Amino acid sequence: MTTLDGAVVLITGANGGLGREFVAQALARGAAKVYATARAPRQWDDPRIVPLALDVTDRESVRAAAAAATDVTVLVNNAGGTSQASLLDDDLAGARQLFETNFWGQLEVTNAVLPAVKANGGAVVNVLSALSWLALADTYSATKAVFSSATNTQRLALAGDGVQVLGLHLGYTDTPMTAGIDAPDKNDPADVVRAAYDGLEAGQLEVLADETSRQVKAGLAAPISALYPQLG
């Protein structure tokens, strides 16, 4: 079980739609300090917020941020991207690049920050997706699927150190990432982050933040054609 009251929280992609909510709601729950990390950190008008440069795909940047934040108790791996790159492209460079951001970069950040989190018996929150379980978004789905698997590996490996590893699954949420997607009833990012932090503080290992995530996970037990009706 993790409390945010008095916690020191490091958030990646803190300038994004969910990232800003992770920052604001950590402070609202009593966090003592928030490292708001981003490729281009912005200024925040709050002395409890420490802006830090962190590009998850740049190992030097990751290491420098981890070295500057040795008091972290809660890590939120929120940064992520999308791409038009397909797993079926002749040239897989674009797909590899998305894996650098959405998978390898996530592991680089976690492994760099882990000594602090372990020392503090803290927690890691991995922002996954309902698309971790549904391959409708090509390379993006694949990156989130493998990150979801790695989340299970981390959870098992770190349980003995008292580190809580929480996987957060969500469907379409109203952030800049989905600005070009015309989907009805996108989640409010504030609701998603509230569900994540409620789960974290309740000691949960997984949070399904919306009905989409709950339905997709429940559908995994059905025949593959039920999950993908377009296959007839």
Active site residues: 140, 144
Residue 228 contacts by C-beta under 8 Å, 6 or more apart in sequence? 135
| CB of 164 or CB of 174, closer to ligand NAP | 174
| CB of 120 or CB of 138, closer to ligand NAP | 138
Number of H helices, E strands in the chain: 8, 7
Q: What H or E segment, with its residue span, contains residue 111?
A: helix 105-119
| CB of 81 or CB of 94, closer to ligand NAP | 81
Residue 179 contacts by C-beta under 8 Å, 6 or more apart in sequence? none
| Smallest gap from residue 144 Cβ to ligand NAP (A) | 7
Do β-strands 49-53 and 164-169 pair in parallel, antiparallel, or remain unpaired?
unpaired
| Smallest gap from residue 56 Cβ to ligand NAP (A) | 4
CA geometry: angle 77, 148, 187, nearest 5 deg: 65
| CB of 120 or CB of 193, closer to ligand NAP | 193
* Chain centre to alpha carbon of residue 109: 11
CB atoms within 10 A of CB 211: 12
Q: What is the contact surface with ligand NAP in residues (CB under 6 A)?
A: 12-13, 15-19, 38-40, 54-57, 78-81, 101, 105, 127, 129, 170, 172-173, 175-178
CB atoms within 10 A of CB 30: 11
* Chain centre to alpha carbon of residue 145: 12
